Structure 1
Amino acid sequence: MPLTGGEIRLERSHDGSVANLTLNHGRFNVITWETRQVMADRFAEIDADRDIKLVVIRAEGEHFTSGGDIAGFMEVDPVDLTDLGQNITAPARSPKPVISAINGYCFGVGLELVLATDIRLATPAARFALPEMKLGMIPGSGGTQRLARLIGLSRAKYHILTGERITGQQALDWGLVSILAPDADALEQETQALVEKMLGYSPIALRTAKEVLDKGIDGPLYTGIELERKAYSMLRASEDFAEGVAAFGEKRAPKFQGR
């Protein structure tokens, strides 16, 4: 029987402007079929809340997640797997910036989840892997495509075709993560510092930058530049840009409203 359960706590902080999602399902935080849908449900709630400006994904305990409920996949009808990547990868479709903080194991669907986030932080103890090849399978929630775009085709082929793990230091060196904190406590401190920094920026500018980057990267350069140009022009008319310019001239911190 497939595993059920698996909590994803949703807690708000910073006066409701930050949504904190925490994986919690035993020592290894196994992601069940049910957990996948919970992630989609959580993001549906987050995306509909105009007060939330940022999202942070963490996990309880020493490991982010060892991956999915392997045995449970044999209980799922193959036709249901055609939309496999639509729930756990909800962070990629969210208009809000999503940060993930990773310690310990981050395997399989867990890696596919963090690949769908915008900024990743980790520790040297973090280990990343897509080990599906060892089961006679391939990653099915965006892992092949997103990993190749982040670390390059050659490295992605090696790690997907062999299932070999990526260390925390390699993840930093290759651009898979942006910050490598010394330990779990430092990881939380770095995460909070990043949250504070980004909360000081215009929500509409953050949202627009995420969209331009995500939609422009896979198209021809001229298409991405045109998208950037039009987005820039749109932001020129925003109240936040006017406030940013005024604050700069007055040598004070801007008070952005997301308009």
Structure 2
Amino acid sequence: MKLNELGHPALALPVDLDGFSVHIDAKRERADIVLARPPFNVISMRGREQLRITFEALDADARVRVIVLRAEGEHFSSGGDIRGFLEASPEHVSKLAWNVAAPTRCSKPVIAAGRGYCFGVGFEISLACDFRLATETTLYALPEQKLGQIPGSGGSARLQKMVGITRTKDIVMRSRRIGGRQAFDWGVATECVPDAELESATDALVDELRSFSPLAQRTAKKLLNDTEDSPLSIAIELEGHCYSRLRSSEDFREGVEAFHGKRRANFTGK
């Protein structure tokens, strides 16, 4: 499916996608963004901008409940177009972190499912997603030190929130690779599954997320993102406000009635 077929009324969407494709399964309320520049799925400067626009369009698409970021072949992504950094303007480079943060800003659940290499911006955009599914072949790394650089799209900052300063220094300052199992043990990956089970694990997580109230999911994601750096007292107060608003929703009433009726809830997002 071409991006200009997504039905988003507010954006002039690109047609010639640079290194990825978009697939929408309206019946399953799922959209897949598939990195597709084999063999290593390098993400270009232009591709980063297009990925941001794609996430924004899918966020506005009523047919989509869950977004999956995945890749063709045996590697998720070896990272960015290195020569592109030398050719890009300072203004363009300054937007890199904003583009990569698109999955975080998206109100819908976003899953990154990757095997093989997940380096550089491939790792950074995965860290910006809500769920990371890894396999026993997955290797995460921020190798910018080998180029005389540092991660520039939020990778070290997000990683430090997850694993602390000691482990982040180990990964960033030594350009160290960590496998999928270790990433799971450290709390970086949501799950680590056998390589052959990545697709089925992704399908199962999509269906699980679709079973919940979309309103409650959007609220939970925004609350957790907004309170990540808040003092505990502020986070608890904001949680209470969100809880209070959801109490008046149709989805909450449906959830309570379904619970007492011992039936599956039919959430509508209202």
Fold conserved (TM > 0.5)? yes
Contact residue 240 and residue 258 of structure 1 kept, 8 A: yes
Q: Secondary structure at the match of 1:12?
A: strand
Q: How does 1:217-228 map to 2 (within 5 A)?
A: 217-228=228-239
Distance 1:10 1:47 in 2: 13
Aligned to 1:118: 130
Output the amino acid matched with 1:230.
H
Question: Quick one: which of 45, 50, 53 aligns to 2:57?
Answer: 45
- After TM superposition, give the deviation of residue 78 of structure 1 in Å: 2.3
1:104-148: CA deviation from partner (whole Å, max 9, x where unpaired)? 000000000000000110101000000101111110100111010
* Shift of residue 8, structure 1, vs aligned partner: 2.0
SS of residue matched to 2:212: coil
TM-score (norm 1): 0.95
Structure 1 residue 238 corresponds to structure 2 residue 249: yes
Whether the 8 Å CA contact 2:85–2:93 is kept in 1: the answer is no
Runs of 4+ in structure 1 over 3 Å off: none
Q: How does 1:58-207 map to 2 (within 5 A)?
A: 58-183=70-195, 185-207=196-218
**Distance (Å, rounded) in 1 between the aligned partners of 2:238 and 2:63:** 27
Unmatched tracts of structure 1, length 5 or more: none
- DSSP 3-state at the match of 1:160: helix
Equivalent residue for 1:257?
A: 268
* Identity across the alignment (%): 47
Residue aligned with 2:43, SS: coil
Aligned equivalents of 1:84 and 1:45: distance in 2? 18
- Contact persistence 2:19–2:43 (CA under 8 A): no
| Partners of 1:6 and 1:29 within 8 A in 2 | no
Counterpart of 2:89 in structure 1: which amino acid?
A: D
Q: 1:5 deviation in Å?
A: 6.6
Output the CA distance in 1 between the equivalents of 2:99 and 2:21: 16
Query: What is the deviation of 1:221?
Result: 0.7
TM-superposed CA distance for 1:51, in Å, is: 2.7
The alpha-carbon deviation at position 14 of structure 1 amounts to 4.9
Give the Cα–Cα distance (whole angstroms) in 1 for the partners of residues 65 and 44 of structure 2: 28
> Structure 2 vs 1, CA of residues 43 and 5 (structure 1 numbering), >3 Å: closer, same or farther?
closer
The question of whether the paired residues in 1 share the 8 Å contact of 2:142 and 2:171 is answered with yes
Deviation sequence 1:11-56 (CA, Å, 0-9, x none): 1125161111100012000000111011011112111112311111
Query: What is the CA–CA distance in structure 2 between the aligned matches of 1:99 and 1:129, rounded to whole Å?
Result: 19
Match of 1:33 among 45, 50, 70: 45
In angstroms, what is the RMSD of aligned CA positions?
A: 1.3
What is the deviation of 1:223?
0.9
Aligned residues: 255
Q: Is the 8 A contact 1:43 1:94 kept in 2?
A: yes
C-alpha separation in 2, matches of 1:77 and 1:199: 41
For residue 169 of structure 1, report the CA deviation from its aligned partner: 1.1
For 1:27 and 1:81, the matched residues in 2 are separated by: 25
Letter in 2 for 1:188: E
Cα 1:179–1:14 change in 2 (3 A) is farther
